[in-house]
Amino acid sequence: MFLILSVILVALAFEYINGFHDSANSIATVVSTKVLTPRQAVSMAAVFNLLGALWGVSVATTIGKGLVDAQFVTVPTICCALIGAIVWNLLTWYLGLPSSSSHALIGGLCGATLASSRGQWSVIHWAAVNPVTHQVEGLWPKVIVPMFISPTVGILGGFLLMSLLLIVLRRLTPRIINSVFGKLQLVSAAFMGLSHGTNDAQKTMGIIALVLYTATQQGTFADLPAGLHFLRTPEFRVVFWIKIACALTMAAGTAAGGWRIIKTLGHKMVKLQPIHGFAAETTAATIIFIASHWGVPLSTTHVISTSIMGVGATKRLSAVKWGIVGKMVWAWVLTIPATALMAYWLQQLVLQF
């Protein structure tokens, strides 16, 4: 029982770190354009992340039972996956690189489960048709393909939306444009915070639900006191208390801020005005919201970063500091293999001892 509670606490620690690591996704542009102060932006992001976290469970279901064979997932397996993801998140946060918390968690889960199965690659669900929903599920369609498509859509969408705005508003003065879009960016930043919550917070919900389901299947909760019966999960489902716990934890993490990454996204990569911030946030939030509806655990980091690139490229290609972008791409590419390897070796140590 102590181990179960410990893993749940580790999962909530990951959610907290996810909050301040990825808070930059929803507030970097609104801070860099000086529409809101950092304190105001963080507070707004925390509120809308909280609301978004309570919106549906599609992404949680994908994380909890759509990527690996649950028969080989034990409580220590989940703990190793979380530790691998946390270490990677802290490392990239320290370096100021906006890497993906989502892919860190997914990589950790796959690596730890592979070790738990003694190297049976079949335990990873690569692609299969769900007999109930008739949708194609698994690592390939839900993670790998979106990993390449979403940044492409982000950069193209940001470029096209910004180009359209420039054409439509070409006769207005910069003063009027800044005034109007300074207000509109409040809406787009709120939408970004909401969509971020619908996707990122649900990942930890799925992990906690998987922990409880695993423990129930293994008989760990057979002799639970009456007051703790709510922990039993005979089938995979995300109950309300899990939603609330994850939503509040992510909101608290967001409130702590992530200034290193905010500096990279909002200042170092390209200089933004309110209209650019509006276009980038609107593009990214729309992509993430649609992905959440379909249960795709998207990298919100990838989407907002590439949306900013697309918007910045409308000025001129040289306006985007591609050296910074190159470092970010390396962080994106390495996230899943790095966390999978860390979690794999952690689980191997567990099996040894």
Rg of the Cα trace of the chain?
20
Q: Give the pLDDT confidence score for residue 133 in this predicted structure.
A: 65
Residue 348 CB: number of other CB atoms within 10 A?
18
Residue type (1 letter), 159:
F
d(CA 147, CA 133): 23
Q: Give the pLDDT confidence score for residue 33 in this predicted structure.
A: 75
Nearest to 64, CA basis, from 230, 208, 200:
208
Q: pLDDT for 24-63, tens place per residue?
A: 666 777 777 778 877 787 788 888 888 888 887 788 888 8
Name the token pair of 101: 């918390």
Q: Give the pLDDT confidence score for residue 304 in this predicted structure.
A: 84
68 beta partners: 124
Which uninterrupted H or E stretch holds 136? Answer: strand 136-137
Name the token pair of 143: 């993670």
d(CA 70, CA 116): 11
Which uninterrupted H or E stretch holds 182? Answer: helix 174-217
Q: Give the pLDDT confidence score for residue 340 in this predicted structure.
A: 95
Q: Residue 23, exposed/middle/buried by CB under 10 A (0-12, 13-18, 19+)?
A: buried
> Is the Cβ–Cβ distance between 239 and 230 less than 8 Å?
yes
**b/e 1-20 (16+ beta carbons within 10 angstroms → b):** eeebeebbebbbbbbbbbbb
Q: Which parts of the chain register pLDDT below 50? A: none
Q: Give the pLDDT confidence score for residue 305 in this predicted structure.
A: 81
d(CA 344, CA 215): 21
Name the token pair of 186: 């409040």
Whether the CA torsion 46, 51, 54, 55 is positive or negative: it is: negative
Q: For residue 330, give every residue at least 6 positions away whose Cβ sits within 8 Å of its Cβ, in sequence order, or none.
A: none
Q: Give the pLDDT confidence score for residue 319 in this predicted structure.
A: 60
Q: Give the pLDDT confidence score for residue 325 in this predicted structure.
A: 67
Residue 333 CB: number of other CB atoms within 10 A?
13
